[in-house]
Structure 1
Amino acid sequence: MLWFTQGMCFLPAFLVVWSSTTFVVAYIVALFRKDVDVVFPYISDTGANPPESCIFGFMTSIASFTGVLTMYARYKFVERLGRENRVLRPSLNVAALVLGLLSCLGMCFVATFQETTVMPVHDAGALLFFISGVLYIILQSVISYQIYPHSSSLVTCGIRTAIATVALLAIFPTIICAFFVTRRTTLHRDARDKDYSVYLASAVSEWIVAFSFVCFFFTYIPEFKLFALQVKVEWLEYF
């Protein structure tokens, strides 16, 4: 049996590959068209102009939908473990799910409203995605320790904690430095600009947060091999 056919592990595997491909493809297309600079543009810059905006929006929408499915599957898995072993408060699992869904909603806003067209909505979506996403992986790291040893190993718990820590540390310069970056009509930056250093710090940190978020789901694969979800249909009779 192929590894990606075991349990539900195809969900996080597809999410990681598809999300990474989304960032890379949009960047390559934008770079090929000379819409962005080679050195660390904002992720949103790579999907601001057509045709890369169409590619970015389409692929990001699929990534957000897959993220919802993956987070819900993780929620049901943890719920079952918590109910059987009584090692976790249900409210913590619910809070993680809500934060995860909010991050996916923010991702949809980022994909739908480009920064060159509706900047306030785009920025609000980006904040929702990054803040909720980082809080989600922090809570999932805590949950991993609480359900140990019924699920993941201590090594996996440590890896998740390390990824969450990196994302948490990187989100501060991502947001704070962005407030000092001058908004422009062009996506190109000049190293001689006064705000170039804070722009670069914000852009680099943004890429770190995004790929930390993506890599976190890679650690789900061993656990997702252990279970499968089934849909139960019940007939309702109306009198």
Structure 2
Amino acid sequence: MFWFMQGLCCLPVFLVIWSSSTFIISYLIAIYRDDVDLIFPYISDTGANPPESCIFGLMTFISACAGIATMYARYKFVEKLSEETRVVSASLNRAALVFGMISCFSMCIVATFQETAMTGVHDAGALLFFVSGVLYLILQSVISYHANPFGSSVNVCRVRLFIAILALVALFPTVICAIFVKQTTLHRDREDKDYPFHLASAVCEWVVAFSFVCFFLTYIDDFKLFTLRVKTEYEE
């Protein structure tokens, strides 16, 4: 059996590959069509105009579905682990799942309401996605330490904590600097007064986004250890 066929590790593997492809493909198409600047556009800028907006919306929706499946599998794994060891409280596990589901739903909002068409809704969805997503990373890092040594190794726990802290630190300039960005066009001039704020916000946005991707990479070894089964009962 190939390593990616062990347990449920195909879920985080697919999520990481597909999400990374979503960002990269939309960016490459937007650059090819000269819809955005080469140097650090906002992620949403790369999916603002058709045809990349159609691809970005579809691929983001699939990423959200894969994220829901992966987060729910992680929730059930921690729940099963805690049935015998009592290392993780049920409320902490549920809180992480709730924030994870909110972040996935917010991804759909971001992909559906393009920033050039519905700026307010798009920005609200993006803010909700980043905040709830970072909270999910933090709670999962706490869960990892609580579950040790029954769950992940200490090194994996440290990697998750580092990624969560990196995402949290990058979140603040992403949001704060975006407040000072007044121009909403897809092409920016370096001479614009708000360009440094745009650049800082965009760079940190990409850091937060790929922090999520790297965090789910750490799930692969854990997901090799378990499977989920659906039990069907028929009542007359």
Q: Give the TM-score taking structure 2 as reference length.
A: 0.99
In 2, Cα distance between equivalents of 1:231 and 1:201: 46
Q: How many residues align?
A: 236
Unpaired stretches in structure 2, ≥5 consecutive residues: none
Separation in 2 of the partners of 1:95 and 1:183? 37
Please name the residue that 1:9 is paired with. 9
Hey, what's the Cα distance between the residues in 1 that align with 2:92 and 2:34? 46
Superposition misfits of 4+ residues, deviation over 2 angstroms: none
For 1:189, the equivalent position in structure 2 comes to 188
Aligned to 1:173: 173
Partners in 2 of 1:23 and 1:10 — Cα distance?
Answer: 20
* Structure 1 SS opposite 2:206: helix
Letter in 1 for 2:224: K
1:50-65 aligned at under 5 Å gives the runs 50-65=50-65
Mapped to 1, the partners of 2:16 and 2:108 lie a distance apart of: 17
Distance 2:116 2:57 in 1: 14
- AA paired with 1:3? W
Which residue of the partner structure matches residue 232 of structure 1?
231
Task: Name the TM-score, length of structure 1 as normaliser.
Answer: 0.98
1:83 is displaced (CA, Å) by 1.2
* Cross-structure match for 2:36: 36
Taking only aligned residues, the RMSD between alpha carbons, in angstroms, comes to 0.6
Residue 119 (structure 1) aligns with: 119
CA displacement at 1:182 relative to structure 2:
0.8
Deviation of the 1:225 alpha carbon? 0.1
Amino acid at match of 2:84: E
Matched with 2:201 is 202
Counterpart of 1:108 in structure 2 is: 108
- 2:215 paired residue number: 216
Q: What amino acid is the match of 1:198? A: F
* Identity within the alignment, %: 66
Q: Deviations over 1:153-193 (max 9, x none)?
A: 00000000000010000000000000000133x30000000
Structure 1 unaligned residues grouped into runs of 5+: none
3-state SS of 1:190 partner: coil
Paired residue for 2:148? Answer: 148
- Alignment correspondent of 2:69: 69
User: Residues of 2 paired with 1:26 and 1:165: CA distance?
Assistant: 27
Q: CA deviation at 1:234?
A: 1.1
| AA at the equivalent of 2:231 | K
CA offsets, 1:125-154, max 9 Å, x none? 101110000000000000000000111000
Cα-to-partner distance string for 1:191-231 (whole Å, 9 max, x where unaligned): 00000001100000000000001110000000000000000
Residues 13-61 of structure 1, C-alpha deviations (whole Å, 9 max, x = no match): 0000000000000000000000000000000000000000000000000
Instruction: Give 1:236 deviation, angstroms.
Output: 2.6
Q: Which amino acid aligns with 2:196?
A: S
CA distance in 1, matches of 2:153, 2:35: 44
**How do residues 89-108 of structure 1 correspond to structure 2 at under 5 angstroms?**
89-108=89-108
SS in 2 for 1:233: coil
Q: Could you tell me which residue of structure 1 aligns to residue 163 of structure 2?
A: 163
1:155 aligned partner, one-letter code: N
Aligned to 1:134: 134
